[in-house]
Chains A and B, each alone.
Chain A
């Protein structure tokens, strides 16, 4: 058995001043570990324009490796540019997931476009960094993973991993746009694609995780961590019928020995809301990483990370 001991909030985007593109929200934390610091990528929202629309960027903070509560550096600019007119990532590059690949750092991200009948659509793009992850250059104007017959829209939430000599991309795909109180709300499911080179992907073309609430349950943030011979997935889920009632987002858990068949057992997740504070209503979008012999989880608090993310440390064995 294991549980997560909450250590507190690491980062509150509201405290950053003077960056129009970092106005609020710090979503989808993902780490890359350096010798002296831990870089945490996250995604934020710009100020709204005159049409009441914002764009989403991805950025990072660097945490002191010896004291993760000490922020030693901030991204000076977004790590990825928005796409050209009409491209899949014209209105946002979020969320973002990095991995070291030889001397480069590769970053997978969801690009956002705005639609007429539904608010948006997304597909997954790839950027490559040659400056230690400060900026990423897109390999083309289009996506590397997009829609297919059984994954018709909202290809998003990439989490890149390498196990053995293969790349695994966990992501979500839209299954249906529901109409809730007159507005379109998405129902998304966790999916997987596998690649030899990180560029050419073969989709498993199946849902990985059974629903718990009902068939319209939305799932996101499939964060996979290998420990003691088992793959552990922490993810978040909610009911789109209550999408605006964000209190309903929770962290779920599943385990697998082959990365394809997963046993869901949310009781094991070992983390839930706090009585008060920034995560009193919601814990969501988990990311698990190992540092200097300890295992940590970063997670979002209330209003899906509007007030930042927190850190928890694993107690017990992830087995």
Chain B
């Protein structure tokens, strides 16, 4: 695989955003319409305690990603009410267009005291082309279970044949540093299947092998089928030091499979790496792959977890 970077296409700090959002356009994810591409992203408001609340916004581009056609006027989905799984933000937000309905798989954030956060996966639908979404209920469709004790999140859903496949992550560990510093999380990529897109079967297995060490954190899988082969891109990082030290921060990982269950990791073949300098020279994360006509694109975030936006690359060789 070989990707040609087309550069950064959106910087949230250059626009006036709704819902008091001031920075971040994390986890860009696209829906392709006839005349334009709608890209959802997670932007951030700072609350009274100076903690981040992620809201889901969108921006519409022309099909060359050279021109912004429209900004959303308001967030597309409300945060949850008091005590709900998505009270403290939604990030990421995965979208799937099917029969005129846009289905969304949300990751809701809810703050804890002994650790910073717990997450679960929610479901919502839009019947107005993705401008507003209604939740199936106040609670999640997928949350911690016997063998997936916490941090179920980062869903990416697609349909192959009659079956829905979800790639997502779950937490395997919260660290307990002896020096009293904050607890850090470890999470891994897993797979679930469903016949209706709402009730999911899962098995608690981690499907992508570690490259760094057992504490490698794997996040935000995205899968595309080319020919008979499935290609997964995701991001991964070290458990600690990833915020300050570029060498420990997010990189793009790659794996492939012919049966959707067994994956062979081969980052060397990902065909995309950090730039020497510029907006994606320290970190690359939160990839989302999609097709526009006959072309395949990857949206992703660069330095600082997407604080200053996202860029795009085009697949030029497969």
Residues of chain A having any CB pair with chain B under 8 Å = 83-88, 90-91, 113-118, 121, 123, 126, 139-144, 146-154, 174, 176-177, 179, 184, 186
Verify A147–B140 contact, CB threshold 8 A: yes
- The residue in A90, A116, A117 that gathers the most chain B C-beta atoms within 10 A of its C-beta is A116
What separation, in Å, do the CA atoms of A298 and B90 have in the docked complex?
Answer: 45
**Smallest CB–CB gap between B184 and chain A, Å?**
11
What separation, in Å, do the CA atoms of A238 and B122 have in the docked complex?
Answer: 31
Verify A117–B83 contact, CB threshold 8 A: yes
Q: List 9 A-B contacts (CB under 8 A).
A: A84-B174, A113-B114, A117-B111, A118-B82, A142-B144, A143-B146, A148-B140, A149-B140, A153-B139
Contact stretch, chosen from B29-37, B147-155, B157-165: B147-155
B120 contacts which of A118, A147, A150, A174 (Cβ < 8 Å)? A147
Neighbouring A residues of B1 by C-beta, 8 Å = none
Give me 10 other A-B pairs in contact (C-beta within 8 A), A116-B112, A141-B147 excluded: A86-B112, A86-B174, A88-B144, A113-B112, A113-B114, A123-B144, A142-B148, A149-B140, A150-B137, A154-B83
Verify A113–B118 contact, CB threshold 8 A: yes
Verify B147–A140 contact, CB threshold 8 A: yes
Are A85 and B183 also in contact (CB < 8 A) when A118-B82, A121-B83, A142-B150 are?
A: yes
Verify A146–B113 contact, CB threshold 8 A: no
Residue of A nearest to B82 (CB): A177
Tell me if B107 counts as interface (CB < 8 A to partner A).
Answer: no
Are A150 and B139 also in contact (CB < 8 A) when A85-B183, A113-B112 are?
A: yes
What separation, in Å, do the CA atoms of A84 and B150 have in the docked complex?
Answer: 11
Neighbouring B residues of A140 by C-beta, 8 Å = 145-147, 149
User: Chain A contact residues: over half helix, strand or loop, or mixed?
Assistant: loop
Neighbouring A residues of B87 by C-beta, 8 Å = 117
A149 contacts which of B138, B151, B175, B176 (Cβ < 8 Å)? B138
**Smallest CB–CB gap between A178 and chain B, Å?**
9
Neighbouring A residues of B253 by C-beta, 8 Å = none
What separation, in Å, do the CA atoms of A176 and B84 have in the docked complex?
Answer: 9
What separation, in Å, do the CA atoms of A88 and B140 have in the docked complex?
Answer: 15
Verify A85–B143 contact, CB threshold 8 A: no
**Smallest CB–CB gap between A20 and chain B, Å?**
20
**Smallest CB–CB gap between B111 and chain A, Å?**
4
Neighbouring A residues of B120 by C-beta, 8 Å = 147
**Smallest CB–CB gap between B159 and chain A, Å?**
21
Q: How many residues of B contact A (CB 8 A)?
A: 40
Verify B84–A141 contact, CB threshold 8 A: no
B82 contacts which of A113, A123, A151, A184 (Cβ < 8 Å)? A184
Verify B82–A115 contact, CB threshold 8 A: no
What separation, in Å, do the CA atoms of A84 and B110 have in the docked complex?
Answer: 18
What separation, in Å, do the CA atoms of A115 and B112 have in the docked complex?
Answer: 4
Verify B85–A152 contact, CB threshold 8 A: yes
Closest 9 CB pairs of A and B: A149-B137, A152-B139, A140-B146, A86-B174, A116-B111, A141-B149, A152-B138, A142-B149, A177-B83
Verify A139–B146 contact, CB threshold 8 A: yes
**Smallest CB–CB gap between A219 and chain B, Å?**
17
- The residue in A114, A139, A142 that gathers the most chain B C-beta atoms within 10 A of its C-beta is A142
Verify B83–A144 contact, CB threshold 8 A: no
**Smallest CB–CB gap between A52 and chain B, Å?**
13
Neighbouring B residues of A177 by C-beta, 8 Å = 81-83
Neighbouring A residues of B80 by C-beta, 8 Å = 152
**Smallest CB–CB gap between B204 and chain A, Å?**
8
- The residue in B84, B115, B141 that gathers the most chain A C-beta atoms within 10 A of its C-beta is B84
CB neighbors of A among B72-127 (8 A): 80-85, 87-88, 110-115, 118, 120, 122-123
Tell me if B28 counts as interface (CB < 8 A to partner A).
Answer: no
Verify B82–A90 contact, CB threshold 8 A: no
Verify A86–B82 contact, CB threshold 8 A: no
Neighbouring A residues of B111 by C-beta, 8 Å = 115-117
Verify A148–B137 contact, CB threshold 8 A: yes
Residue of A nearest to B136 (CB): A149
Tell me if B185 counts as interface (CB < 8 A to partner A).
Answer: yes
**Smallest CB–CB gap between A195 and chain B, Å?**
14
Tell me if B171 counts as interface (CB < 8 A to partner A).
Answer: yes
What separation, in Å, do the CA atoms of A115 and B9 have in the docked complex?
Answer: 38
Neighbouring B residues of A144 by C-beta, 8 Å = 145-146
Verify A146–B83 contact, CB threshold 8 A: no
**Smallest CB–CB gap between A22 and chain B, Å?**
23
Verify A151–B149 contact, CB threshold 8 A: no
What separation, in Å, do the CA atoms of A113 and B85 have in the docked complex?
Answer: 13
What separation, in Å, do the CA atoms of A308 and B318 have in the docked complex?
Answer: 71
**Smallest CB–CB gap between B283 and chain A, Å?**
25
Neighbouring B residues of A90 by C-beta, 8 Å = 114
Verify B114–A174 contact, CB threshold 8 A: no
What separation, in Å, do the CA atoms of A203 and B131 have in the docked complex?
Answer: 32
Verify A143–B139 contact, CB threshold 8 A: no
Neighbouring A residues of B140 by C-beta, 8 Å = 147-149, 152
Neighbouring B residues of A85 by C-beta, 8 Å = 114-115, 174-176, 183
Verify A88–B145 contact, CB threshold 8 A: no
Verify B146–A149 contact, CB threshold 8 A: no
What separation, in Å, do the CA atoms of A146 and B135 have in the docked complex?
Answer: 18
**Smallest CB–CB gap between B247 and chain A, Å?**
27
Neighbouring B residues of A88 by C-beta, 8 Å = 144, 149-150
Residue of B nearest to A143 (CB): B144
Verify B139–A148 contact, CB threshold 8 A: yes
Verify A86–B139 contact, CB threshold 8 A: no
Verify B145–A143 contact, CB threshold 8 A: yes
What separation, in Å, do the CA atoms of A116 and B89 have in the docked complex?
Answer: 14
